[in-house]
Each structure stands twice: as C-alpha cells, then as structure tokens.
Amino acid sequence: MTKKATRRGILTAGGTALLCGLAGCSTSVSTSSTPNNATESGEAAATTESRTTAVYEATIDAVVLVRTASGRGTGLLIDGSHIVTNAHVVGNADEVAVRFREGEWSVASVLGVDPHSDLAALGAESVPETADPVAFSDKSATVGQRVLAIGNPYNLDGTVTTGIISGVNRSIPAPSGYDIPDAIQTDAPVNPGNSGGPLVAVDDGEVLAVINSGGGDNIGFGISAALAQRVVPELIETGDYDHPYMGISFEDVTPIVADANGLEEPRGLLVVRLDPDGPAVGTLQPSTDIEIVGNRRVTVGGDILLDIDGTPIKTSEDLGSYLALQTRPGDVVDLRVWRDGEEMTVPFELGKRPL
C-alpha cells in the first residue's frame, strides 16, 4: 500500500465514523476492536514519521550554511545557482561563503538585498550535483498545516524541527523599520541560525516561507512564499525591489471610533496622519480633531479606508498584504472611503516606499 493510499484509507475510515455519529446510527463494538485501533494508530504514526523523514531528505540538499564575517545563518537553493536567505543574515556583505550538506564550500555573490522584506538573493560560483533546488509553494498556508523548519541553529547544521502553521497574514518588523506583511507564524522551534532557512509543508514538500525570526513560547515567523516569489526574482535581475507606498498612518476603527465618525458599524482603517512628502497628500484626508467620549480620547474627522479595488480592508494586515502581493509603485487603485458622512471612491496612485 502506498503512503497516499494509507492516508486516504485513514481519512475515509474517520469520515465514515463521523457521518454515522451525525446520522444517529449505531455501530457494534467488541473488545476485539481495541487491538485493531491500536494498530491503526501505530500505522498512522509510522506514516507521519516516514513522511517527515522523506520531506527532510528531499529538502536538505538544498539547504546551505551561510557564513559572513559577522555571523552565520541559513540559505535555500531555488535553482541551479541562486540562493535565498535573509537580508539581516548577509548585512552589508558583497560576498559570503556557503556550505552544502556534504561539506562543499562555495563563494556566493550578494546579488540583491531588500531590507523591507528581509530577503536577499545570492549567486553561488559552484553548486554540487547532489544539491537539488526546491520550489516555493503557490498554495496559501493554512492554520494547522504540519511543517518542518530546517536550518543551522547554534552551529548545529541540518537541524529539523516540526510543528504546525499557527497563524497567517501576520505583520512582523523588517530591518528597514517598516513591517513585513503576509508573514506566517509557526510553533516549530526556531532559533538563532535558522534565519533564511525553509519552512516546508509536510504534505507536499514545498516551501511555504523563508524563516525570519523565532523566540520563546514556540512562536516563530517566516516570510511567505507569495512575497518571496515577487521579491527574489527582481533581486536576482536588478539587485533591488520597489515596494508600493501610500504614506499614511492609521488606526483600527473600533465601535467607539465608528460611532464618533458617523459609521454604522466598525470597519476599515481611520487615516490619522499623512507623510508630507508621500502620495496621499491632496488625495486622502487625515483626522482633524480629538473628541472626548466618556473618559476616552477618540480620533475623528479623517477618511476611513473601507476597501481597495473592491477588497474589504478589515485590518492593517489586510491592507499590507494587498499592497505587497497585488500592487506595484505607479499603480492606480480605487479606494473606497468614508468621508464627511458618506462613502465615495477615490483614485489613488501608489508611490515607492522610501528607505
């Protein structure tokens, strides 16, 4: 029986039991079922372990140690010569040394660095034949999905840890001071040295994210494959990447903010400030006043951003992900805003994010 067939059989058996319970039918249970259940559980665990091992072995040859004058991290081979890692791993270096699984070393040129996404692209002078590149996933990560984090933490090369996707569409700090949108959260242990390594889906072996950071309490983060696939090709080709920019600061619209601004329900983002040199000047209106409601200070008078190109904006993460994954500097988007007690559509030309 193949692994796929085994997994399908386990899922089918579980689905039959669930349907039976929902329909109110009865099943006969004998003591002889206990050993069978134990056997099935053991088989399922063995299948999971073998799948984890198979995905690790299929990926590890593409995982490299990245060494610089100031430290070390991890990188990922994505084609015959190009390696992805974190911008904070390479720093200001023009060249780094990379080591592959079997111990082969190569010099790698730093082709491009993007501090806004914390991604960097390297070009290796030589790549061993045993190093097969891996692919970024075109599928969205889902909460609960099983993953592997592979890297070189604490000088322990080729370390793998396991966990699940704990959250998606997160915003995490970038070296530039802005936020990285569309980030993926995992409970797989991530430690210093893992930075730049892959977060890999156990089900298909594709890379869901480039590991960015980790910390205590089983919380680690990665830069999504979707963002990496936009940024990295341009880093390889041109050396940099231009991010879209609106030049606004905003706050969430809570019930009290919605009520103070005449909005029937809390939704969208309230524009509170504009970058005086940014593209929003003359197009969007920032808040104009503070009202005291009860004993709370409430911002009033600015535009409330409701959607962008028809996509509802419920949180700052929604806005950041849409801009990063769907737009580029120079694009004109349609903003639906709440202004002076009514909804209106405002065309908006996106600028280029400053460094």
Active-site amino acid positions:
88, 118, 195
Distance CA 287, CA 111 (A): 42
Chain CA centroid to CA 103, Å: 30
Distance CA 330, CA 327 (A): 9
Which pair of tokens denotes residue 102?
Answer: 């079997």
* CA-CA-CA-CA dihedral for 121, 124, 129, 133, to nearest 10: 0
Spatial contact of 67 and 98, defined as CB atoms under 8 Å apart = yes
Instruction: Collect contacts of 280-287 with beta carbons under 8 A, ≥24 apart.
Output: 280/246, 280/247, 280/248, 280/348, 281/247, 283/346, 283/347, 283/348, 284/248, 284/335, 284/337, 284/346, 284/348, 285/339, 286/248
Chain CA centroid to CA 116, Å: 14
Chain CA centroid to CA 59, Å: 19
Chain CA centroid to CA 143, Å: 12
